[in-house]
Amino acid sequence: MNRIQPTVSAENLTQFETLALDSSMNLADGHARQQLTSAQSKIVAELPDMWAEAIMRPVSEIEQEAAESFFGMLGQHSHPFAAGRTLSCYSSSLAMEILARSLVTTSDAIALLHPTFDNIPDILAGVGLKLIPVEEEQAHDDDLPAELLEQVGCVFITTPNNPTGRVMTEARLRRLAEQCAEYNVVLALDTSFRGFDTAAQFDHYAVLEASGCRWVVIEDTGKLWPTLELKIGWLARSANVDLPIEKIHSDILLGTSPLILLMVKRFSDDGADGGLAELHRTIAEHRALVRAELAGVPDISFVDEQARVSVERLHVGSRMGMDVWSAVRSQNLYVLPCQKFHWARPNEGERMLRLALSRNPSTLLAGAEVLRSALLDTPERHR
């Protein structure tokens, strides 16, 4: 057993994901890479017809249909597209960049969920915002402290969270929104993974609007369906948000592709017509498959028992996550080490790995076998 760690130059989780892109056993990134369903394949076969349709029709009409279908599929009936407050972006991360650039014009600090995917803190810090961690337990269980709300311009929550899958309940969202309204703090939500969990599909926009708080929501079509990075990130905002979001959006893009918007509409309509339920069954089967394959390995656990999202955290017990990561990498399997999710205190993630579930079962099975054998071979390490 070689315990020397290979040199890994990855500076963030995305660079860890990049290492995996050409591997046949890529369980690293959270992008959807499972097979198209037969209904989805039919939509793809019609892309040339959709191209012809996109040329003929006004793009604003296509965009509205895509938004209605996507937000409708997810139960977000009070979304503000018709009010002109939903902007389409090339991706949710670009929506994040636009939000960050907008926030820093009026704030110097932000309260951010901890842990969460590291490109959120990196983008926010990259534009110059000071980050104050809000522990997941605190965000879900208690009011936020007044002294925190007094020093930030925004509270940012990922729900369902990546990687934990934890969903903010309607009651907690309502209370948090009320607090944000009271302190005149923007409440920003990243709901990119909400499609996987019906618990995250209550009408968030109705709750946010009722609170009267200033709010922004980032939605994402990109995590659900294997659409080859053709996706839309939506950036929705309240009427009272008072941030230069529309101007900064227009500095970076005129609009998204009408072909992608038509495709999103079609995938959403199929989702509402049973496709989303089928996806939930698929992810549940994949989760069960991985857990079954690793059953009996001593000193491991699946940390997020309630998770429904397309990623799964594995606690590797007294092993070090990077030891396991290196061992499976030598077998061409890529997973994500979890330190960088814990952006304020990376050591809290050092004994966990994140596995992507939105893959074909054969890939998951092969990966889980490699992982099982690596776990059995990886020694304990105490700090």
Pick the stretch among 69-77, 134-142, 174-182, 225-233 that binds its own copies (CB under 8 A): 225-233
Q: Is the dihedral of CA 358, 360, 366, 368 positive or negative?
A: positive
Residue 47 CB, nearest distance to its own copies (Å)? 4
Q: Is 233 helix (H, G, I), strand (E, B) or coil?
A: strand
Q: Is 140 helix (H, G, I), strand (E, B) or coil?
A: helix
Q: Verify binding: residue 39, its own copies, rule CB under 8 A.
A: no
Pick the stretch among 93-101, 189-197, 213-221, 344-352 that binds its own copies (CB under 8 A): 93-101
Q: Region of 116 please: left (phi>0), alpha (psi -120 to 50) or beta.
A: beta
Q: Lay out the site mask for its own copies across 255-274 (x = CB under 8 A, - = otherwise).
A: xxxxxx--------------
Given the structure tokens 């709300």, which residue do they identify?
149
Query: Applying CB under 8 A, which of residues 31, 237, 265, 342 lies at the interface with its own copies?
Result: 31
- Helical axes 361-377 vs 276-293, angle rounded to 10°: 30
Q: Verify binding: residue 83, its own copies, rule CB under 8 A.
A: no
Q: Verify binding: residue 251, its own copies, rule CB under 8 A.
A: yes
Q: Verify binding: residue 330, its own copies, rule CB under 8 A.
A: no
| 357: nearest Cα among 297, 306, 283, 273 | 283
**Number of residues in contact with its own copies under rule CB under 8 A:** 51
Residues 6+ apart with CB under 8 A from 313: 163, 164, 302, 303, 304, 307, 338, 352, 353, 354, 355
Residue 14 CB, nearest distance to its own copies (Å)? 4
C-alpha–C-alpha distance, residues 106 and 188, integer Å? 15
φ, ψ of residue 176 to 5 degrees: the values are -65, -40
Q: Verify binding: residue 228, its own copies, rule CB under 8 A.
A: yes
Q: Which is nearer to its own copies, 51 or 210 (CB)?
A: 51
Q: Verify binding: residue 211, its own copies, rule CB under 8 A.
A: no
Q: Verify binding: residue 45, its own copies, rule CB under 8 A.
A: yes
Q: Is 115 helix (H, G, I), strand (E, B) or coil?
A: coil
Cross-strand partners of 375: none
Strand duo 215-220 + 186-190: pairing = parallel
Q: Verify binding: residue 332, its own copies, rule CB under 8 A.
A: no
Pick the stretch among 49-57, 172-180, 271-279, 326-334 that binds its own copies (CB under 8 A): 49-57
Pick the stretch among 51-59, 140-148, 160-168, 172-180 that binds its own copies (CB under 8 A): 51-59
C-alpha–C-alpha distance, residues 152 and 105, integer Å? 13
Contacting its own copies within 114-143 (CB under 8 A):
119, 122-123, 126-128
List of residues contacting its own copies (CB under 8 A):
11-12, 14-15, 17-18, 21-22, 29, 31, 44-45, 47-48, 51, 54-55, 58-61, 90-91, 93-94, 96-97, 101, 119, 122-123, 126-128, 226, 228-230, 247-248, 250-260
